[in-house]
């Protein structure tokens, strides 16, 4: 399994036993989350923006409006940090100090590049669509030339990355186990609800199987 | 209602009709999310880290280990961007182009300051605990002097902020409403599951009411 080199940028300093540098666990976090948070710097000021994403091999894809100054900046070779987080639970210990969260998070580093090739751009947009709802792309009207022009797609070759996670119940100080305090985990997860048809949907059109399976 | 001044830093450029600058909607987003993403800059490189938070008035609170170099940096007056995001749904339009997400996100700006006063530090930690599980703080063993020393708490006076949101169904091109494509919304939300007792929990200790109400 191929590992990202450990450099000062991606090395996890705190609780290093929670960290992993192999592509597989890092990408498992990236691929199973619907959104990421993109960090960038302008005039020394950090900005963090949520957006949807996809991964193609060792490249992260994000997109936005061509009218967006942010997208222009992201595609101009800017240093980016893309963080993907799953919150898995609240860890309730017997002391305030040992409370924690169960989570999985991946932090990716690289520089953004504007995709100009039209075929590559279309493939990247398809990847974003399929990441969120596999099967959707083939079912909907494809982007027109004008719509493609109105969309900026940025690829970030993943230069460096790491993931960090915590699982399991609370770890209390030995003396605290005698306290009469409830302890355990409150699991938390992102869940989809029931599909809601558009008000203008022709009622003879059923929800496709690839969307039904996304419901919980 | 008091509004954050619109400056180049917090002004929403894309789709400004989705933006709000009043404290109330910004803080509603911050207060109803369990975690945030903190952005900061070191040597020109952006970093984005997920963490739990709380808000006390116009101040955001985050905390971590005193051994953490990141916490030292965050508390040293560093420019921060704290982003809080709720993903509310996947918007399924009849064309690829008009697909979207329903969401609420708040972006806060300010500089981090290390809290040194012990009473203020304890109040801040209590706020973080009560933010996640109201009622928990009074129920658990309080931090010892040593535990307080091992914890760095950073406050960020919120200098500037905005929130952005999208709600509702897809907005398709008029011609596309004739297409035989299912359209609508797949709602998404962060949900808590059923409480899981710690393996070492004395079974005679029931889960307290304030935790039971968090379950879905």
A177-195 pLDDT, tens digit per residue, is 999 999 999 999 999 999 9
Q: How confident is the model at residue A14 (pLDDT cuts 50, 70, 90)?
A: confident
Give me the DSSP letters along B62-104.
Answer: EEEETT-HHHHHHTEEEEEEEEEEEEEEEEE-SBSTT-EEEEE
User: Which residues of chain B from 58 to 77 reach within 8 Å of chain A, CB to CB?
Assistant: 64-65, 67-70
Residues B52, A186: C-beta atoms closer than 8 Å: no
- Range in A1-10, B37-46, B64-73 the model is least confident about: A1-10
B197 touching chain A per CB within 8 A: yes
What is the reported pLDDT for A187? Answer: 98
* pLDDT of A1: 57
Predicted pLDDT at A216: 80
Residues 8-47 of A with CB under 8 A from B: 9, 13-14, 34-35, 37-41, 44-47
The tens digit of pLDDT for each residue in B179-216 reads 999 999 999 999 999 999 999 999 999 999 999 999 98
Q: What is this structure's pTM?
A: 0.96
Q: Considering only residues A24 and B16, tell me which one the structure prediction assigns the higher pLDDT.
A: A24
H-state helical runs in A83-199: 118-132, 145-149
Phi, psi (deg, nearest 5) at residue B72: -60, -45
Locate the domains of chain A by residue range: 16-189
pLDDT in tens, A64-103: 999 888 999 999 999 999 999 999 999 999 999 999 999 9
Q: Choose, out of B8, B44, B50, B105, the residue to mutate when testing the contact with A (most A CBs < 10 Å).
A: B50
CATH code assigned to B16-173+183-188: 2.30.110.10
Residues in chain B, total: 216
Q: What is the pLDDT of residues A106-143, one digit of tens each?
A: 999 999 999 999 999 999 999 999 999 999 999 999 99
Query: In this predicted complex, what is the ipTM?
Result: 0.96
Longest dimension (CA), chain A: 68
Q: Which residues of chain A are within 8 Å of residue B52 when distances are taken between CB atoms?
A: 101
Please answer yes or no on whether A192 and B193 come within 8 Å at the CB atom: no
Rg (chain A; Cα; Å)? 21
Average pLDDT, chain B: 96
Q: What is the pLDDT of residue B76?
A: 96
**Which pair of structure tokens corresponds to residue A67?**
């009218």
Task: Give the class (CATH, top level) of A16-189.
Answer: mainly beta
């Amino acid at each position: 399994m191929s590992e990202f080199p450990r450099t000062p940028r991606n090395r996890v300093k705190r609780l290093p036993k929670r960290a992993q540098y192999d592509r597989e666990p890092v990408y498992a976090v990236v691929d199973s989350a619907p959104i990421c948070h993109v960090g960038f710097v302008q005039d020394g000021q950090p900005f963090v923006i949520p957006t949807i994403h996809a991964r193609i091999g060792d490249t992260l894809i994000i997109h936005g409006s061509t009218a967006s100054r942010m997208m222009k900046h992201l595609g101009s070779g800017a240093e980016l940090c893309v963080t993907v987080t799953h919150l898995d639970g609240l860890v309730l210990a017997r002391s305030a100090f040992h409370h924690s969260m169960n989570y999985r998070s991946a932090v990716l580093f690289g520089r953004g590049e504007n995709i100009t090739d039209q075929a590559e751009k279309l493939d990247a947009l398809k990847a974003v669509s399929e990441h969120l709802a596999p099967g959707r792309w083939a079912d909907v009207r494809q982007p027109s030339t004008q719509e493609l022009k109105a969309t900026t797609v940025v690829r970030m070759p993943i230069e460096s990355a790491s993931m960090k996670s915590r699982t399991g119940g609370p770890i209390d100080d030995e003396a605290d186990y005698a306290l009469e305090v409830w302890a355990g985990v409150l699991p938390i997860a992102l869940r989809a609800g029931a599909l809601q048809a558009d008000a203008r949907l022709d009622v003879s059109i059923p929800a496709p199987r690839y969307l039904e399976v996304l419901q919980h």
